[in-house]
Amino acid sequence: MLRATEPARSADLVVFNGKIATQDEQRSFVRALAVKDGTIVATGDDRDVLRHAHDDTTRIDLNGRTVIPGLIDAHLQAIRGGMNFNLEVRWDGVPSLADALELLGRQVRRTPAPQWARVAGGWTALQFAEKRGPTAAELNAIAPDTPVFIQHLADSAWLNAAALRALGYGRDTPDPPGGELRRDRHGRPTGLLLARPDPAVLGAALARAPVLDADDRVNSTRQFMRALNRVGVTSAIDAGGDGLAYPDDYAAVATLARRGELTTRIAYALGARHAGRELDDFAKWIALTAPGRGDAFLRASGAGERLLFSAVDLGNFLEPRVDLPASVDAELAAIVRLLVRHRWPFRLHATYDESIGRFLDVFEAVDRDTPFDGLRWSFDRCETISDANIARVAALGGGITVQPRMAFQGEAFIARHGAAAATRAPPIRAMLAAGLPVGAGSGATGAASYNPFVALYWMVSGRSVGGTALYPARNRLGRMEALRRYTVGSAWFSADEHRKGALVPGRYADFAVLSDDYFTVDARRIPALSSVLTVVDGKVVHAEQEFSPLAPPPPPVSPAWSPVAAGGVADAADAGGRAAPHASAAGDACAASGIDVCRAHSHGRRFARSRYPTASAAAERCEAFGGCCVAF
């Protein structure tokens, strides 16, 4: 049956002979859709929708492939990720440490002084066959003179000797605020920098490395958008990158928007920049811009994710939960009251129920004297939120975005909080049952991979990237429901639920044609899915395989030594999708309990740490296999 805004309206584009998941309220599938001026004008059967074609209409035979709405990442550091993408070797989805080090070594040989070689998160040691991260000896052998910075998620970073020299880290260097420099028995830094607990300490170290110039930042942002399109992402909500200055650090994405070269729609939040002066920061943002200012491709959306430096509850599962200071309540109330008064939507990181309860106390108190009155606000993460606090969020009109941190840190969560607590971390089904808006995002590019199919796999299978079973069936989502979190669910968080997230007449023509059928493929293959044809605003922005003749010409990469130019960026569509070889029994024992490496497997002292709080138990298990685990 034809569904259209007007009968037989001429179309710019018609795609047909597909399995199109519309994500309408009935969860319908159709075979074809028609597009005019960037908007869907009809969906239905091939014969009916093809009535919208004329001589100049582009017709694309989908060859029976599955089509989904363009994915909306509800929590992505899109601005910061774009600025730095051309600088970074990405280990997302690399199946072994040997392969990862080969990528790194290849880039070291290309990197000119004084630039650094860097891997800025998005991977976990548990994805590797070796079940460990690199060693100091390995990094120094690969790069004796080039500084190397390897960030592991948002909890730690490895620095080689050249990076330690470049940063001036030595025996007399104090630990940075919010972090710890691991040291050898002589007090010299080993090169392991720990976030304790705030990952801002990792960003502060990397910020001292050289940066791209303005033109290369524009190119880098464009390359990042293309990488997102490759995995079906057509929209992102930038949660508010730490340390970004508005409008200066938004210049690259603004330039692309002016040129009409953005291929991913971005709604961005603005966050506090100065500890102790957060209220002044938000007063400045309110004077400079307003939520909704911009266009369909780039616009401001509100405030977040860091509203107050002392109200950080990022939940580094390798560290104990940190109690918020007593000053949080009054300071946060002043900021929220300012935002509500000026009708600025806001979002806030909140991992633990104890913090969520205190934040809700503040919000409810503000609402009594400065009513929210339908203002959109949300929490991010919420791994341990209770049913009682879910109800309070619902009563105040809030929403929750979830990210796949348990996919990357589930083993650490279990070691610290127990397997029983992990079975509902986060309790997505309870959130949905309470009627909350629930969106999904990656939390990338540091804390996780930007590949949305890793998050979809996590929600559907209940397993971590390392293979650990986290959730019973009752706490997992079906494939359709998981997809809805990344489409119509996420659209709410940028007030776009009537414009995107579903393939129905009147919505944006943003969609992805998948490499395999998400709804029927073996669940273990979900992380390996990608888009073979991505359309944004009715225009093809990515195409490969049989659709490659439709691909727009790729922009050249700059600088020429960028990892992107050299193929030093692992294909994020493979993240978790390739079967990793089984580790040895001793290696399994180390990984299961948290020791990164076994000394028995190599020469010299390993660049390792006890990743979980069961180090002594892990050491005993390793010794049982004849190995000696070493952790600083």
In which element (H, E) is residue 303 found? Answer: strand 298-303
Q: pLDDT band for position 242 (50/70/90)?
A: confident
d(CA 511, CA 534): 6
Q: Could you tell me the sign of the dihedral formed by the alpha carbons of 218, 224, 227, 232, in that order?
A: negative
CATH code where residue 43 lies:
2.30.40.10
The domain boundary residue, chosen from 64, 86, 105: 64
Write out pLDDT tens, residues 194-211. 999 888 899 999 999 999
Write out pLDDT tens, residues 135-191. 999 999 999 999 999 999 999 999 999 999 999 999 999 999 989 999 999 999 999
Domain-located, residue 183: no
DSSP label at 469?
Answer: B
d(CA 507, CA 510): 8
Strand partners of residue 111: none
List the single range of 218-227, 305-314, 480-489 with lowest mean pLDDT.
305-314
d(CA 404, CA 310): 24
DSSP helix/strand/coil, 300: strand
Write out pLDDT tens, residues 447-458. 999 999 999 999
DSSP label at 248?
Answer: G
Q: Could you tell me the sign of the dihedral formed by the alpha carbons of 41, 47, 52, 54, in that order?
A: positive
Domain-located, residue 264: no
Domain-located, residue 452: no
pLDDT over 80 (residue 2):
no
Domain-located, residue 20: yes
The structural domain count of the chain equals 2
Q: Kindly write down the DSSP assignment for every residue of 22-82, as one continuous string.
A: ---TT--EESEEEEETTEEEEEE-HHHHGGG--TT-EEEE-TT-EEEEPEEEEEE-HHHHH
d(CA 399, CA 378): 5
List the single range of 55-59, 195-199, 359-363, 473-477 with lowest mean pLDDT.
195-199
- Mean model confidence pLDDT for the chain: 89
pLDDT over 70 (residue 569):
no
* Percent of the chain topping pLDDT 70: 88
pLDDT at 351: 96
d(CA 38, CA 410): 41
d(CA 369, CA 122): 42
pLDDT at 573: 53
Write out pLDDT tens, residues 85-101. 999 999 999 999 999 99
pLDDT over 90 (residue 627):
no
**What range defines the domain where residue 591 resides?**
583-632
d(CA 43, CA 32): 6
Domain-located, residue 622: yes
The domain boundary residue, chosen from 21, 42, 64: 64
pLDDT over 60 (residue 475):
yes
Decide: residue 394, CB within 10 A, 0-12 exposed, 13-18 middle, 19+ buried.
Answer: middle
DSSP helix/strand/coil, 463: strand
Q: What are phi and psi of 292, to 5 degrees?
A: 95, -15
What average pLDDT does the segment 565-577 reach? 60
Domain-located, residue 176: no
Domain-located, residue 625: yes
DSSP label at 217?
Answer: H
Q: What are phi and psi of 608, to 5 degrees?
A: -135, 165
Residue 113 identity: A
Q: Kindly write down the DSSP assignment for every residue of 363-432, as one continuous string.
A: HHHHHHHS--TT--EEEEE-TT--HHHHHHHHHTT-EEEE-THHHHHHHHHHHHH-HHHHTTSS-HHHHH
Which of 103, 207, 203, 189 has the alpha carbon at shortest distance from 153?
Answer: 203
What are the structure tokens assigned to 625, written together?
A: 């296999």
pLDDT at 312: 82
pLDDT over 50 (residue 626):
no
d(CA 388, CA 382): 13
d(CA 630, CA 632): 7
In which element (H, E) is residue 165 found? Answer: helix 161-167
Write out pLDDT tens, residues 62-76. 999 999 999 999 999
d(CA 143, CA 139): 6
Domain-located, residue 240: no
The domain boundary residue, chosen from 64, 81, 113: 64
What are the residues whose beta carbons fall under 8 Å from the beta carbon of 252, sequence distance 6 or more? 82, 83, 214, 217, 218, 220, 221
d(CA 208, CA 166): 9
Strand partners of residue 76: 238
Q: pLDDT band for position 570 (50/70/90)?
A: low
pLDDT at 8: 55
Quote the pTM value: 0.90
pLDDT over 60 (residue 588):
no
CA torsion angle for 447, 449, 451, 457 (degrees, to 10)? Answer: -80
